[in-house]
Amino acid sequence: MSSSIELRDVSQVFAVRGDEDRQLRDFVALQGVDLTVAPGELLALVGPSGCGKSTVLDLVAGLTRPTSGRVLVDGEEITGPGLDRSVVFQQYTLLPWRTATANVELALEATGRYTRAERRERAREHLELVGLTEFAHRYPHELSGGMKQRVAIARSLSYEPGVLLMDEPFGALDAQTRERLQEELVGIWERTGTTIVFITHDIEEAVFLGQRVAVMSSRPGRVKEVVDIDLDRSAAVESDIRSTPEFAAYRHHVWASLRQQPARRLEEVERVA
């Protein structure tokens, strides 16, 4: 199952207190954001800290409403959170007194959709999907950070949402674990076909994961460019795709876009390489 997402001319204004006079004033977090995500697409949203990435995610998750503009999933305006959209956050969100399996089963129970036997089977399947079969009966304190995030991914996918929203989910992990999980996420995405919006401030992570990379600028937050990433990910693990000239060209392009500098044209970089 996979859904489309559309943001049309979305602005988000927060009331914040000024430093000196403590008066409330408007802070424009997002201004005129347009973005479309196709069903089954893996879109990476990259931008500096504070540019409004989480604000975009909160809108799509239905946790907040936009000040103006429209946010649509499958053509329908979002009115609140729903089981059609699931979120994985950076901070670990597992219940410490429940095993990995029991954490996934609890989410399934909350949907009210599945029998006890179905919950058990779905938890098993999805922990297998993230490679945690052997750790299914461990408690969170017995799992590494990377494993905890895999449980969170399994939990999010267990009730088959049309959209998986990920807000810097690997940001707290060490570099090697992060790369490993990036590779596994591509495999999970290919197997499930879920639409994924992956938020990160890491250019390399965005280029590795995204079929397209939406580049955000700050003050006010906007989507300034959407870059098509045409890399052969099926061979990603074997070929160390991050070391290829094509990957470097895309990374440079996104970097230049973020720095607001003219990029060497992608075609030129590819020709030289």
From the list ligand ADP, Mg ion, none, pick the one residue 49 interacts with, judged by a Cβ distance below 5 to 8 Å according to partner type. ligand ADP
Q: Which is nearer to ligand ADP, 219 or 265 (CB)?
A: 219
Q: Which is nearer to Mg ion, 105 or 204 (CB)?
A: 204
What is the DSSP secondary structure assignment for residue 67, as one 8-state letter?
S
CB 220 within 8 A of CB 197: no
Quickly count: other Cβ atoms within 10 Å of residue 257's Cβ: 22
> By CB under 5 A, is residue 12 in contact with Mg ion?
no
CB 94 within 8 A of CB 176: no
Q: Which is nearer to ligand ADP, 27 or 92 (CB)?
A: 27
Q: Which is nearer to ligand ADP, 59 or 181 (CB)?
A: 59
Closest CA to 214 of 6, 2, 1: 6
Query: In sequence order, what are the residues at sequence separation of 6 or more whose Cβ sits closer than 8 angstroms to the Cβ of residue 96?
Result: 139, 140, 141
> By CB under 5 A, is residue 54 in contact with Mg ion?
yes
Query: In sequence order, what are the residues at sequence separation of 6 or more whose Cβ sits closer than 8 angstroms to the Cβ of residue 248?
Result: 269, 273
Provide, rounded to whole angstroms, the least separation between the CB of residue 54 and Mg ion.
3
> By CB under 6 A, is residue 49 in contact with ligand ADP?
yes
Region near ligand ADP per CB under 6 A, out of 48-56, 75-83, 126-134, 255-263: 48-56
Report the C-alpha gap between 61 and 82 in whole angstroms: 8
> By CB under 6 A, is residue 182 in contact with ligand ADP?
no
From the list ligand ADP, Mg ion, none, pick the one residue 27 interacts with, judged by a Cβ distance below 5 to 8 Å according to partner type. ligand ADP
> By CB under 6 A, is residue 161 in contact with ligand ADP?
no
Residues found near Mg ion in the complex (CB under 5 A): 53-54
